[in-house]
Amino acid sequence: MQKVNTTEELIALLNEHNKLFLLKNSTTCPISHTAYNEFTQFAEGYPEETFYYLNVQEARPLSNEIAEKFEVKHESPQVLLFSNGQVVWHTSHWNVTVSNLESEWSKI
């Protein structure tokens, strides 16, 4: 998994990938810790892919910009699935599970 810290990094990734999963994660929240573990477990099942995350406390401007630009209410933890540069699915909190991630990833 690769950490994203800036808007420029995210834009480059969205231009580079047809589909992309991004986890917005809090470093202090136990629910975020669980979601991070689920996201990591999911990512391990796709070693040929790169999955991305940001720590909200470290990249607050990026987190806010994502919420504004893509019109997705900020939550943490939160996973966003981008396809062709647009958010096509998102979920948060206890819904960040390996099975939910696999289901949505396979649709695109």
Report the CATH number of the 2-107 domain: 3.40.30.10
Beta-strand pair 52-55/19-25? parallel
Q: For residue 71, which amino acid is it?
A: E
Domain boundaries along the sequence of the chain:
2-107
Burial class of residue 63, CB neighbours in 10 A (0-12, 13-18, 19+):
buried
pTM assigned to the model:
0.94
For the four alpha carbons of 17, 69, 41 and 55, in that order, the dihedral sign comes to positive
The reported pLDDT for the residue numbered 108 is 87
Containing H/E element for 38? helix 30-44
| Predicted confidence pLDDT, tens digits, the chain (108 residues) | 999 999 999 999 999 999 999 999 999 999 999 999 999 999 999 999 999 999 999 999 999 999 999 999 999 999 999 999 999 999 999 999 999 999 999 998
